[in-house]
Each structure stands twice: as structure tokens, then as C-alpha cells.
Amino acid sequence: MGIIRVTNIQVYAYHGCLVEEGKIGSDYRVDVEVKANLQPSAVSDALTDTVDYVHVNRIVKEEMAIRSKLLEHVAKRIIDRIFDEIAIANETTVQVSKINPPIGGNVEMVTIEMTLKR
């Protein structure tokens, strides 16, 4: 088993329960960890035998562009797509962080983390 991490994917999106969040938007950080058998790619040196981090990045950007009220909903969609589109993915952890959330205080970010196994 091996791990591919794509860390600090930065996107601007419009998630949140408040109407203003859907209009103004906010900065987000997404971190993805995919566990898979990386031995075939270590031997073959072929991109088709591994977790393509370009593909992971594209999934994150596409799913972050779809407005959701809850970060949990976005994370679940990202994980579902990784499992649907990357056959060797066995376990995926996604962290979605809202930078400077509008919660009435000086908070750097709020983060949800979700892990699912195939």
C-alpha cells in the first residue's frame, strides 16, 4: 500500500449556508490523500498504473465549483468521484478548509475531514 497526497489545493468557491456566502464566495484549501497499491507503478513506471495527481486536482476543482451548503457534502462528492474514476484507490481522505470563515471571530480557517474506504 502507498499514499499519494495532493496538498493545499487552493480554490475560490461559494459554499455555505448564508445567502451572502453564495454571492461573495471565499477562499478554500483542499487536501487529498489516496491510499492505493503503488507497487505496479513502481515497477512499470507507467502513469496508468498509479494515482494521477493531475486527475485528483481536476476532480477537486470541478467539485468545488458546485455550490453546497456544507463542506461535508463537497468532501463526500470528491471522494465518490475519486472512487468512481480512479480504480486503484482503496481509501481516500479529504480535508476541506474554509479560510477566514464568517463566524464572528478571528478564525484562520475551519476544516472538515472525511475518510472513506472502498
Q: Which residues are marked as active site?
A: 98
The helix (run of H) or strand (run of E) holding residue 116 is strand 109-117
Backbone φ and ψ for 25, nearest 5 degrees, come out as: 80, 180
Q: In what order do the strands lie in the sheet with 26-36?
A: 2-13, 26-36, 89-99, 109-117
Output the CA–CA distances (angstroms, integers) from residue 112 to 1, 28, 88, 105, in the order listed: 25, 12, 25, 18
d(CA 96, CA 43): 33
